[in-house]
Structures are given as structure tokens and as C-alpha cells.
């Protein structure tokens, strides 16, 4: 046998795959409970739990039950919870005034979790869709979603959330200029340490369908959101949105949806280095759950692998409806 010419490949990747200890040693990324943000739906009433047809395993909870769920999540080590309200259709108007009612469902949920002294960061959603008779994220005038007037409404909404005790404001509306306006408001109103996680790279996606059922916006929505959310074919535009939102004062940025947009996760993290999150949205959740319930895939393994993909792609964390389930597995 020649010295230089080994009969077998010198590089055998299977050597470091051969045992669990070696696999543990060479693993490049990790998934921990600290990477999870749990989106939750809150509804009116007490001791009320409502199923959501298109999101099996996810429920809307009344504030009292949500407080208990937040306590459990904190106990599992989940660092943040993100609150979405199911708003009574009677409270929806053209101007969306309920959005900045200090006593609206979302603000009551924030204060209740805060007052219970639970050690979990509270994230909010800033967009008018739960309160809009048109189902849009912005105010509609003559069929047009008006930008600047919407931003003024969003600032009022954000202020009410900060006053209720929110730690992370999550503008998901995609109006131009809202991050700068929210940051200025937080400084002026004495909330300099409230953080903003901008839904910066948010695409006009069909994967949001089940969420719109969950918050009761499906019936209301007239048309689509293409005049404000990003075209799924545009990556460079998404990167420019991230750059703009960071320059306006966002502390963290988000890519949404998640799995179909992993290329953006990687590019955003590499290019800007800012805390970067992905939202594994309702449609992604529903697809995995539907396949799992039919035993077409191993639900638990697919859930974990889907979340690992975000970490591999450079994300610091993931908003996922699987958060408590995956936290229990990771803690075992």
C-alpha cells in the first residue's frame, strides 16, 4: 500500500458521528428554553378556555388562566410571553380606539401578569387588526391603509402597553416610521428601558391564516395586506427594512414567517449582528400539528428539528406556539 495513497477516504465524517459523546462534542448550535418566546391568545371572561379549530393544542385563555399559564411558563424557564387579544367584534371600529384603551383585554392581561410578580418578560403586539372593523393593521380611508395617521394610533397603543407594564413592544403592522415614533414616545413618556422588537422582515404570507382565526380577524379582513407587508420574493427589501428599523431604535428584529424565510434569518444575523428572532407562525404550527395528528410525521421530533433550524440559521430565539411543550422536553 502506498504511503500517500490511502485506500480509503481520509476525511470520514462518520468518525465524529459514531457515538453520542462525539456528536455532543462537535455540535455547532444548541436549543435551550431560553431561546423561546411563547405567543398566547387571551379572551374575555374568567376560567374561560376556548379551542381554536385551525390550531389544535392552542387555546385562548381568560386573564386569570393566562396568569397561571405565565407562571408555569416562567417556571419552565421560558423568558418571554407575547400576548394577542381576541377582541369582541362589538369593540371593533373604523378608528380602532379600543387599541389604546388602557383597560382593553391585552392591557389587563399585561397588568395582571405584572402584578402577580411573575418573572417573565411581557411582549405585546402593536397593530390595529384586532380592533379594526376592516381587519387591517392600519386605519383605512377610502380603501387605502393610511400610514402616518396609523402611526399616531400605534404610538397611543404602545404607550398604553408600556404603562400597563410591557417589557417588549412588538410592532407587527409594517407602517413606515413606526419604530422611530415609538422610540421617541418611550423616551418622552418616561419609559426609556422598554424594548422594541420590530417585526422588520415581515412578509405578506398565507401562513398567517390560523392566527387570524385565533384573534377573530379572518371574517373582518377585506382584501389582503400586500400594500404594507413585504413581497415573499423580496430579500433585499427585507434587509433594508431591518436596517431602517435598527436605525430608528429597534433593539431586536424579527423575521416572519420562520421556516420558509430561513435565508433571511441568516442574512439578518450576519449583516447586522442585532438580536434576531424568527416567528414560527400559526400556519407552520398547524402544518406540523396536522401531520403529527395523522401520524404522518413524529410530531415531537419534527417540532424540535423545526426549532433547531432557526438556531442553526443564526436566530437568537424563536416565537413558537410549541414553547411550553418543547420547554418540558428540553428540561427533562
Applying CB under 6 A, the residues found at the interface with ligand PBG are 125, 127, 129, 137, 172-173, 208, 211-212, 225, 281-282
The residue among 54 and 111 lying less far from ligand PBG, judged by its C-beta, is: 54
Q: Find the catalytic residue in 256, 269, 301, 328.
A: 256
The residue among 170 and 314 lying less far from ligand PBG, judged by its C-beta, is: 170
- Minimum gap (Å) between residue 110 Cβ and ligand PBG: 16
Rounded CA separation 202/279 (Å):
9
8 A C-beta contact, residue 248 and residue 323: no
Task: Give exposure, 259-279, as e/b (b: 16+ Cβ within 10 Å).
Answer: bebbebbbbbbeebebbbbbb
Task: Give exposure, 294-312, as e/b (b: 16+ Cβ within 10 Å).
Answer: eeebebeebbbebbebbbe
Rounded CA separation 214/60 (Å):
8
Written as nine digits, the cell of 18 is 459514531
- Is 256 a residue of the active site? yes
8 A C-beta contact, residue 130 and residue 87: yes
- Minimum gap (Å) between residue 211 Cβ and ligand PBG: 3
Rounded CA separation 231/195 (Å):
27
8 A C-beta contact, residue 66 and residue 110: no
SS3 for 268? helix
The residue among 225 and 311 lying less far from ligand PBG, judged by its C-beta, is: 225
Candidates 210, 199, 211, 206; CA nearest to 224 is 206
- Minimum gap (Å) between residue 25 Cβ and ligand PBG: 36
- Is 156 a residue of the active site? no
The residue among 26 and 144 lying less far from ligand PBG, judged by its C-beta, is: 144
- Minimum gap (Å) between residue 79 Cβ and ligand PBG: 19
- Minimum gap (Å) between residue 82 Cβ and ligand PBG: 9
Q: Find the catalytic residue in 92, 202, 225, 269.
A: 202
8 A C-beta contact, residue 161 and residue 110: yes
The residue among 137 and 289 lying less far from ligand PBG, judged by its C-beta, is: 137
Catalytic residue positions, numbered: 202, 256
Amino acid at each position: 500500500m502506498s504511503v500517500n495513497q490511502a485506500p480509503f477516504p481520509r476525511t470520514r465524517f462518520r468518525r465524529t458521528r459514531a457515538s453520542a459523546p462525539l456528536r455532543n462534542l462537535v455540535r455547532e448550535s444548541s436549543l435551550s428554553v431560553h431561546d423561546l418566546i411563547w405567543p398566547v391568545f387571551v379572551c374575555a371572561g374568567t376560567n374561560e378556555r376556548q379551542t381554536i379549530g385551525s390550531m389544535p393544542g392552542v387555546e385562548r385563555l381568560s386573564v386569570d388562566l393566562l396568569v397561571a399559564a405565565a407562571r408555569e411558563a416562567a417556571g419552565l424557564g421560558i423568558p418571554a410571553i407575547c400576548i394577542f387579544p381576541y377582541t369582541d367584534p362589538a369593540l371593533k371600529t373604523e378608528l380602532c380606539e379600543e387599541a389604546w384603551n388602557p383597560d382593553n383585554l391585552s392591557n389587563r392581561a399585561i397588568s395582571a401578569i405584572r402584578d402577580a410578580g411573575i418573572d417573565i418578560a411581557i411582549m405585546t403586539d402593536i397593530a390595529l387588526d384586532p380592533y379594526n372593523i376592516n381587519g387591517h393593521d392600519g386605519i383605512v380611508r377610502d380603501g387605502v391603509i393610511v400610514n402616518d395617521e396609523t402611526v399616531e394610533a400605534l404610538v397611543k397603543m404602545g404607550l398604553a402597553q408600556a404603562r400597563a407594564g410591557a417589557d417588549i413592544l412588538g410592532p407587527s403592522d409594517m407602517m413606515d416610521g413606526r419604530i422611530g415614533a415609538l422610540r421617541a414616545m418611550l423616551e418622552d413618556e418616561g419609559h426609556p428601558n422598554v424594548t422594541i422588537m420590530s417585526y422588520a422582515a415581515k412578509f405578506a404570507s398565507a401562513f398567517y391564516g390560523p392566527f387570524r382565526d385565533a384573534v377573530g380577524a379572518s371574517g373582518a379582513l377585506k382584501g389582503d395586506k400586500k400594500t404594507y407587508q413585504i413581497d415573499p420574493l423580496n430579500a433585499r427589501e427585507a434587509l433594508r427594512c431591518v436596517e431602517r428599523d435598527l436605525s430608528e431604535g429597534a433593539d431586536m428584529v424579527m423575521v416572519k414567517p420562520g421556516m420558509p424565510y430561513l435565508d433571511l434569518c441568516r442574512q439578518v444575523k450576519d449583516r447586522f449582528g442585532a438580536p434576531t428572532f424568527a416567528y414560527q407562525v400559526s400556519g407552520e404550527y398547524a402544518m406540523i400539528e396536522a401531520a403529527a395528528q395523522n401520524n404522518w410525521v413524529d410530531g415531537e421530533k419534527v417540532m424540535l428539528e423545526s426549532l433547531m433550524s432557526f438556531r442553526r440559521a443564526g436566530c437568537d430565539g424563536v416565537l413558537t406556539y410549541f414553547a411550553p411543550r418543547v420547554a418540558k422536553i428540553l428540561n427533562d
